[in-house]
Amino acid sequence: MHKEPHAIALPDRFKYPTAVLLLWLGSLVSILFLSSAFSDHHILLNQLQSKWDGGWYESIAGSSYYFSHSAQSNVAFFPLYPLLVKLVHS
């Protein structure tokens, strides 16, 4: 008698976070692939943080939030990532 493999079912509370994580990872891989395929420059994973909003997050992790009426400031950025960076590096 042949047994069918048993599928592992996730509890309902883990389905949405798992889907979001997989979508995020797929997006990251797509960005890395497309940036390498259509550019002369190859983006390495450790260089990805300096692209787009990475500089703002680095400034928050390094010297906290600041606000200026006359210049751009970093108060619009969510604090979770800079807090994690600060915790890991302390």
pLDDT the model gives residue 61: 77
Evaluate if residue 70 carries a pLDDT over 70: yes
What per-residue confidence (pLDDT) applies to 23?
A: 92
Q: Read off the tokens for 29.
A: 């891989």
**What's the predicted TM-score (pTM) here?**
0.40
DSSP 49-67: GGSTTHHHHHHHHHH----
Give tens-digit pLDDT for 18-46. 888 899 888 888 877 776 666 666 556 55
Confidence of residue 64 (pLDDT cuts 50, 70, 90): confident
Q: Which residue has the higher pLDDT, 17 or 10?
A: 17
6: helix, strand or coil: coil
